């Protein structure tokens, strides 16, 4: 096993990989409770949504580990599931089978682009400065997610964001998570991120944050599997409805753009922590990663779990020592187990992972020194990416800002020859994407 995954070759150990895999799973475990709750709004039975979420994440995470041999984990992505529940389900008149068919078609389209080499080629066409900026922007984004989960950072009508209630239990648990993680990490304790999560979960028990599970064992419900090929009350299959409804195809394109660049950014961030990002900002084994990720999006629609994608929280496992696909395989096995004990796993509140996410955000900030801030062409587009990702709360939107402004600055500074052809293609696609978001 160690030889197959090249564990020793990459300076790791089986124990270290298993620990990292568990860290990643705990950082992602909230999806087991959150995703089914959102999909239930779309009409999917809760038990079926739980099964689809766990099995889908387990299957695709194991595939990622075996095929790419890198420490990335996959699960139903936040954001797209909300689109399924609150937008697509309305357009399809409550037919969640058609909504999942949109996800399925979008995933197949991305997979085709990967197999044709276009997705990888666009990644390679990104200027080095923007690659570093994506890592920095994602660092801020990850930290922001962690702070938001704990209620340390909250929405405010007057100032957009503000400090949360310091006496709120989730705030206290989140703060304990950060302090414990930083102390353990500074003391070079192995598994600092994992131990930090566990201590935060324990702290949450007397505070009422870590809830008492309503049960331990749960059965499996596969009724959502094959959703795109299931028929509505009129006997029309979901995939047929999508292929004959132009507005649904437009949504498929919009979601494809989001998935296309979200994964690009996430892979770079995780690669930085997992030490498989080159000095030029290229992700090693990126083609294998993109193939699995693209297939995962289609699988998410097929399982009825919404789009399955590479989770940025995987960076916590990579930062905790994950260097191979073995950690991903273990994470996937944890998701399989969670399918049977979902009530127990779902008590882990997302605020308990705040420390891990904030520390990873800090570690990713080191990339900022690699950007030439004295060069307008390198610096300004990079700034737009760094500011855009967390402030729009969207990886793809932030990357889009950087791409577009790179071309604009290149034009006004006489450096248009530095813009590679595929960057022009990406910019045109982003402009179309932003316009569609407003229609």
Residue 265 backbone dihedrals phi, psi, to 5 degrees = -70, -45
pLDDT of residue 298: 96
Q: Is residue 356 part of a domain?
A: no
For helices 96-115 and 246-274, the axis angle rounded to 10 degrees is 60
Domain count for the chain, please give it.
2
**Rounded to whole angstroms, how far apart are CA atoms 80 and 77?**
6
The reply to whether 338 and 380 lie within a common domain is: no
Ramachandran quadrant class, 93 (left: phi over 0; alpha: psi -120 to 50; beta: rest): left
pLDDT above 90 (res 405):
yes
With respect to residue 173, please indicate whether it lies within any of the assigned structural domains: no
Q: Across all residues in the chain, what is the average pLDDT?
A: 89
Q: 74-76 and 308-310 as β-strands: parallel, antiparallel, unpaired?
A: antiparallel
Mean pLDDT of 220-239: 91
Residue 432's pLDDT band, with cuts at 50, 70 and 90, is confident
User: 377 lies in which domain range?
Assistant: 372-438
Top-confidence range, 52-56, 194-198, 398-402: 52-56
Residue 439: which pLDDT band, with cuts at 50, 70 and 90? low
Please check whether residue 358 lies inside any domain of the structure. Answer: no
Please tell me the predicted confidence (pLDDT) of residue 167. 96
Same domain for 259 and 118: yes
Rounded CA-CA distance 41/22 in Å is 30
Start-to-end CA distance of the chain, whole Å, equals: 51
**pLDDT of amino acid 69:** 97
Task: Tell me the mean pLDDT in the region 163-179.
Answer: 96
Asked whether residue 91 falls in the same domain as residue 220, the answer is yes
Q: For 267-319, how does the pLDDT look when each residue is reduced to its tens digit (9 = 90+)?
A: 988 998 999 988 777 889 999 999 999 999 999 999 999 999 999 889 999 99
Whole-angstrom distance, CA of residue 416 vs CA of residue 218: 59
Q: Are 106 and 251 found together in one domain?
A: yes
Q: 47: Cβ–Cβ under 8 A, 6 or more apart, which residues?
A: 218, 219, 221
Stretch 364-368: mean pLDDT: 83
Based on the fold, state whether residues 273 and 412 are members of the same structural domain. no
Does the residue 132 lie in any domain? Answer: no
* Whether residues 319 and 407 fall in one domain: no
Residue 63: what pLDDT?
A: 97
Q: pLDDT tens digits for 16-58?
A: 999 999 999 988 888 887 788 789 888 999 889 999 999 999 9
- Strands 153-156 and 74-76, bridge-based pairing: unpaired
Q: Which of 285, 313, 348 is the last residue of a domain?
A: 348
- What mean pLDDT comes out for the span 406-426? 93
- What is the rounded distance in angstroms from the CA atom of residue 154 to the CA atom of residue 144? 10
Interval 106-110 mean pLDDT: 93
**89 in the same domain as 43:** yes
Residue 410 has a pLDDT of 96
Q: Are residues 24 and 96 in the same domain?
A: yes
Sign of CA dihedral 238, 239, 240, 242: positive
pLDDT computed for residue 396 by the predictor: 80
Q: Which of 284, 314, 348 is the last residue before a domain boundary?
A: 348
Residues 287 and 420 grouped into a single domain: no
Reported confidence tier of residue 235, pLDDT bands at 50, 70, 90:
confident
Does 94 map to a domain?
Answer: yes
Number of residues assigned to the chain = 439
Q: Are residues 319 and 401 in the same domain?
A: no
Together in a domain, 234 and 332? yes
- Of 315, 348, 381, which residue is a domain's last? 348
Question: In terms of domains, do 432 and 304 share one?
Answer: no
Interior angle at CA 151, CA 150 and CA 156, nearest 5? 155
Distance of CA 1 to the CA centre of its chain: 28
Q: Would you say residue 200 lies in a domain? A: no
pLDDT confidence bin for 327, thresholds 50/70/90: very high
Q: Does 195 reside within a domain?
A: no
| 3-state SS string for the chain | CCCCCCCCCCCCCHHHHHHHHHHHHHHHCHHHHHHHHHHHHCCCCHHHHHHHHHHHHHHHHHHHHHHHCCCCCEEECCCHHHHHHHHHHHHCCCCHHHHHHHHHHHHHHHHHHHHCCHHHHHHHHCCHHHHHHHHHHHHHHHHHHHHHHCCCEEEECCCEEEECCCCCHHHHHHHHHHHHHHHHHHCCCCCHHHHHHHHHHHHHHHHCCCCCCCCCCCCCCCCCCCHHHCECCCCCEHHHHHHCCHHHHHHHHHHHHHHHHHHHHHHHHHHHHHCCECCCCCECCHHHHHHHHHHHHHHHHHHCCCCEEECCCHHHHHHCCCCCHHHHHHHHHHHHHHHHCHHHHCCCCHHHHHHHHHHHHHHHHHHHHHCCCCCHHHHHHHHHHHHHHHHHCCHHHHHHHHHHHHHHHHHHCCCHHHCCHHHHHHHHHHHHHHHHHHC
Contact 195, 189 (CB under 8 A): yes
Q: Is the pLDDT of residue 85 over 70?
A: yes
Whether 165 is covered by a domain: the verdict is: no
**Mean pLDDT, range 220-242, rounded to an integer:** 91
Nearest alpha-carbon partner for 127 in 384, 389, 429, 431: 384
- Reported as a single tens digit per residue, the pLDDT across 204-219 is 999 999 887 777 787 8
């Amino acid at each position: 096993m160690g030889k197959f995954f090249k564990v020793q070759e990459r300076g790791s150990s089986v124990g270290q990989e298993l620990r990292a895999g568990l860290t990643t799973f705990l950082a992602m475990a909230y999806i087991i409770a959150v995703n089914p709750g959102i999909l239930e709004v779309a009409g999917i039975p809760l038990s079926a949504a739980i099964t689809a979420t766990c099995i889908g994440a387990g299957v695709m995470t194991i595939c990622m580990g075996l095929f790419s041999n890198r420490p990335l984990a996959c699960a139903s992505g936040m954001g797209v599931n909300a689109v399924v529940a609150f937008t697509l389900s309305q357009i399809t008149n409550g037919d969640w089978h058609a909504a999942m068919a949109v996800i399925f078609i979008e995933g197949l389209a991305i997979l085709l682009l990967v197999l044709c080499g276009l997705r990888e080629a666009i990644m390679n066409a990104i200027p080095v400065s923007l690659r570093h900026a994506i890592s920095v922007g994602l660092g801020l984004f990850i930290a922001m997610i962690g702070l938001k989960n704990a209620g340390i950072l909250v929405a405010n009508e007057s100032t957009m964001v503000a400090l949360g209630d310091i006496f709120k239990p989730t705030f206290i648990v989140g703060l304990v998570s950060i302090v414990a993680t930083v102390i353990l990490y500074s003391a070079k304790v192995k598994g600092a991120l994992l131990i930090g999560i566990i201590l935060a979960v324990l702290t949450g028990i007397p505070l009422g944050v870590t809830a008492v599970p309503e049960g331990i064992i749960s059965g499996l419900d596969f009724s959502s599997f094959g959703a795109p090929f299931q028929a509505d009350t009129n006997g029309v299959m979901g995939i047929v409805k999508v292929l004959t409804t132009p507005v649904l195809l437009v949504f498929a394109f919009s979601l494809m753009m989001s998935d296309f660049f979200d994964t690009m950014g996430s892979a770079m961030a995780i690669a930085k922590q997992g030490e498989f990002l080159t000095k030029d900002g290229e992700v090693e084994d990126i083609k294998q990663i993109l193939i699995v990720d693209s297939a995962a999006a289609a699988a998410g629609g097929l399982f009825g779990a919404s789009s399955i994608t590479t989770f940025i929280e995987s960076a916590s496992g990579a930062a905790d020592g994950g260097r191979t696909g073995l950690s991903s395989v273990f994470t996937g096995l944890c998701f399989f187990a969670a399918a049977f004990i979902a009530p127990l796993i779902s008590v882990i509140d997302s605020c308990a992972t705040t420390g891990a996410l904030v520390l990873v955000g800090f570690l990713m900030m080191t990339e900022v020194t690699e950007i030439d801030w004295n060069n307008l062409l390198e610096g300004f587009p990079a700034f737009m990416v760094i500011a855009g990702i967390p402030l729009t709360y969207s990886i793809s939107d932030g990357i889009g800002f950087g791409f577009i402004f790179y071309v604009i600055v290149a034009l006004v500074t006489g450096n248009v020859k530095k813009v590679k052809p595929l960057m022009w293609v990406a910019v045109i696609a982003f402009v179309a994407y932003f316009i569609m978001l407003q229609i």
